[in-house]
C-alpha cells in the first residue's frame, strides 16, 4: 500500500497571503495525484487532478505541481472561504487509493 | 443536475449488518466507476471500495475486505455497500463518489469528481 504523508497537520496563513501545502508518496505515483478540499458538514471537493490540472470551476488561485513522490498545492491570495482541510490522494495503478492525513489551513 | 445521494445510515449494534445505498442522477450512471470513501469522527478520509462501471470488478480496503460488499445496479442507477460484522471502528460518514474517468473505463486510476453529501453510520451498543 502506498502511504501518503502531508507534512503539516496545520498551516496558519493570513488572508491574502500564499499557502503552500506538501504531500509525499512512499513510492512513485507518477502524476496520479489529486487534491481535495473538505469543510465540516460538506462533501469533499475535487480541486486538482493529474497533479496539476484544475477541476471544473476551481479558481485559478489554486495550483498543483509535482510528480513521482513529491507534490505541492499552492493557494494564492487566500480568501476566507479557502480555510478548510486539504487532502492529497494517490490513484496510481490498482487500489487501494490512499489519502494523506490532511492539512488544516487556518487563519493566522 | 449531477448528483449522488447516499442513504441507509443509522445506529447499529456491534456485529450487526447495515446496507448503504447511493443513488445517482443527472449523468449516465451506467458507464461510470463509483467509489465509497469514509471519514471517522475527528479523522481523515479513508478510501473504502470501488466498483467498475459494469459492476463486475471490485476492490476493497484491507480494513473492510471480507466484511463489506459493493454492488452496482445500472438499471436502478444505484450502488450499494453491504456492511457486515460492524465494529466501532466502522463508525463514520460514508460518501459515494464518481470517478473522474472516461466512459466505460476499464481502469480505476482516476480522481473523484462528484461526491454525495454522505450518510452517517454509528456502531454502538
Residue B103 pLDDT class (50, 70, 90 cuts) = confident
What CA–CA distance (Å, rounded) separates A91 from A73? 17
Position A94 pLDDT exceeds 90:
no
Residue B95 pLDDT class (50, 70, 90 cuts) = very high
Residue B102 pLDDT class (50, 70, 90 cuts) = confident
Residue B107 pLDDT class (50, 70, 90 cuts) = confident
Contacts of B111 in chain A (CB under 8 A): 34, 46, 49-50, 55, 89, 91
The pLDDT tens digits of the residues spanning B26-81 come to 999 999 999 999 999 999 999 999 999 999 999 999 999 999 999 999 999 999 99
The pLDDT tens digits of the residues spanning B8-25 come to 999 999 999 999 999 999
Residue B106 pLDDT class (50, 70, 90 cuts) = confident
Q: How far is CA A71 from CA A26, A30, A60, B28, B41, in A?
A: 12, 10, 18, 33, 27
* Mean pLDDT over each residue of chain A, to the nearest integer: 96
pLDDT for the residue B34: 96
pLDDT for the residue B45: 97
pLDDT for the residue B109: 87
Contact A95 B50 (CB under 8 A): yes
Contacts of A49 in chain B (CB under 8 A): 100, 110-111, 113
Contacts of A92 in chain B (CB under 8 A): 109
The verdict on A57 touching B (C-beta cutoff 8 Å) is no
pLDDT for the residue B101: 87
C-alpha cell at A87: 487532502
Average pLDDT, stretch A23-43? 97
Position B105 pLDDT exceeds 90:
no
Q: What share of chain B is helix, strand, coil (3-state, %, to 5)?
A: 5, 50, 45
Average pLDDT, stretch A21-33? 97
A102 CB contacts (<8 Å, ≥6 apart)?
A6, A9, A38, A85, A86, A87, B44, B45
Residue A64 pLDDT class (50, 70, 90 cuts) = very high
pLDDT for the residue B112: 97
Amino acid at each position: 500500500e502506498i502511504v501518503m504523508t502531508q507534512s503539516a497537520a496545520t498551516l496558519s496563513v493570513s488572508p491574502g497571503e500564499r499557502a503552500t501545502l506538501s504531500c509525499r508518496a512512499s513510492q512513485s505515483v507518477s502524476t496520479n495525484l489529486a487534491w481535495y478540499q473538505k469543510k465540516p458538514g460538506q462533501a469533499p471537493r475535487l480541486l486538482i487532478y493529474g497533479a496539476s490540472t484544475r477541476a471544473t470551476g476551481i479558481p485559478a488561485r489554486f495550483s498543483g505541481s509535482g510528480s513521482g513522490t513529491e507534490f505541492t498545492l499552492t493557494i494564492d491570495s487566500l480568501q476566507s472561504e479557502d480555510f478548510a482541510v486539504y487532502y492529497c490522494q494517490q490513484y496510481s495503478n490498482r487500489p487501494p487509493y490512499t489519502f494523506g492525513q490532511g492539512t488544516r489551513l487556518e487563519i493566522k | 443536475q449531477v448528483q449522488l445521494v447516499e442513504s441507509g445510515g443509522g445506529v447499529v449494534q456491534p456485529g450487526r449488518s447495515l446496507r448503504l445505498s447511493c443513488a445517482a442522477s443527472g449523468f449516465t450512471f451506467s458507464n461510470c466507476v463509483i467509489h465509497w470513501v469514509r471519514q471517522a469522527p475527528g479523522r481523515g478520509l479513508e478510501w473504502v471500495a470501488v466498483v467498475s462501471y459494469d459492476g463486475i470488478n471490485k476492490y476493497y480496503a484491507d480494513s473492510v475486505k471480507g466484511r463489506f460488499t459493493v454492488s452496482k445496479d445500472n438499471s436502478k442507477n444505484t450502488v450499494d455497500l453491504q456492511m457486515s460484522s460492524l465494529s466501532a471502528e466502522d463508525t463514520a460518514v460514508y460518501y459515494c463518489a464518481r470517478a473522474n474517468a472516461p466512459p466505460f473505463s476499464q481502469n480505476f486510476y482516476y480522481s473523484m469528481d462528484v461526491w454525495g453529501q454522505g450518510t452517517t453510520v454509528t456502531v454502538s451498543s
